[in-house]
Structure 1
């Protein structure tokens, strides 16, 4: 290692054996990395912010309502802690609604349960909490960044494979010229 110098940007330096495809490949690798770094970051941030906005709208548009069980639920088992049951509730506009939802197992008829409704008074799932929304938004952002990176790497690999085919074809032509000049053949 002593006396050996490291050459930065070695793919771009002058070399008598360098081919046009080698330069194209060097630029391709650089472009792929830049798109992954910048594009992945942008895709991740945009996706995370979009998901966070959706979760915030859900929290703002859903309200908890007290409902009454119309039927009792069976006792909890090792496989099920929640059971479907009919419930009745009064919407903010005063209208009475009845529907089925999952409630804790083992609840008697007439028990009060909390359900979530939308602006029309229809049953909806409980909104994600602020912490859960942040975690999910971050995971969705990371997933979109990785997805973009995968697409970019895949496209870069396809282009590199094409460059390799061109190089092999050129080497085949050159070998056809140089090979016969070698008089010594084994076999």
Structure 2
């Protein structure tokens, strides 16, 4: 029975500021509400900004993916390096390529290709809506991972503000409470010594 009572007391220890108690002061109640408000703001701010950031990133990457088009370009001149070097080291070199944009106009640009790529070798490239070279867009899985990572960082940063503010306010309230205790003790301390002597 004693073990059960001890467990129950531990479980409700954090509610001490709201329970009826002759030793509870107004400052204890204020600290309790400040603590509760800081935790609620921390959770709400972190969750809200994290979700908004994640959705914004994912939406932006989806728009980028929708605007990008895969194209086949062809190497204009023999690429530098010896052929087959990529298979051993993963190295890629810059080479000029030519492709036809969606409007039918011929385009050229620089992209990375395997070393020693022959003239006329096909190369996969990505273009934007205007037919200019663009980077490969993130896949839906990559976009989800990136959005989750950025959302987590943004949520943690947003949650840190009310958490730190609450901690500072609680520290200030504790200093105020301790100074009041010092004042009361300086007034009552000498009487206490006479009662025990």
Q: Deviations over 1:146-187 (max 9, x none)?
A: 222222211111111211221222123223323444659xxx
Query: Is contact 1:73–1:108 with CA below 8 Å preserved after alignment?
Result: no
Is 1:37 matched up with 2:47?
no
Q: Could you tell me which residue of structure 2 aligns to residue 83 of structure 1? A: 93
Segment of structure 1 superposing worse, 49-58 or 15-24: 15-24
Match of 1:167 in 2: 177
Greater helix content: 2
Q: Which residue of 1 aligns with 2:53?
A: 47
RMSD over equivalenced CA pairs, Å: 2.6
Aligned residue pairs total 184
Q: Is the 8 A contact 2:42 2:162 kept in 1?
A: yes
Among 17, 21, 29, the residue aligned to 1:11: 17
Cα distance in 2, alignment partners of residues 34 and 170 from structure 1: 29
User: C-alpha offsets along residues 21-63 of structure 1, whole Å, 9 cap, x if unaligned?
Assistant: 3212211221122223333332222222222211111111000
Residue 96 (1) aligns with residue 96 (2): no
| Match of residue 121 from structure 1 | 131
Determine helix, strand or coil for the equivalent of 2:17: helix
Range with greater deviation from structure 2 (30-39 or 73-82): 73-82
TM-score, length of structure 2 as denominator length? 0.78
Residues 42 and 161 in structure 2, CA contact (< 8 A), matched pair in contact too: no
Structure 1 residue 112, shift from structure 2 partner: 1.3
> Aligned in 2, Cα 1:13/1:86: closer, same or farther, shift over 3 Å?
same
Structure 1 runs of 4+ off > 6 angstroms?
A: none
Asked if 2 retains the 8 angstrom alpha-carbon contact of 1:76 and 1:106, the reply is no
| CA shift in 2, pair 1:111/1:169, >3 Å | same
- Name the SS for the 1:84 alignment partner: strand
Q: TM-score scaled by structure 1?
A: 0.82
Unaligned stretches of 5+ in structure 1?
A: none
SS of corresponding position for 1:12:
coil
Do the aligned residues in 1 keep the contact of 2:50 with 2:151 (CA within 8 Å)?
A: yes
Asked whether 1:58 is paired with 2:93, we answer no
The yes-or-no answer on 1:69 pairing with 2:79 is no
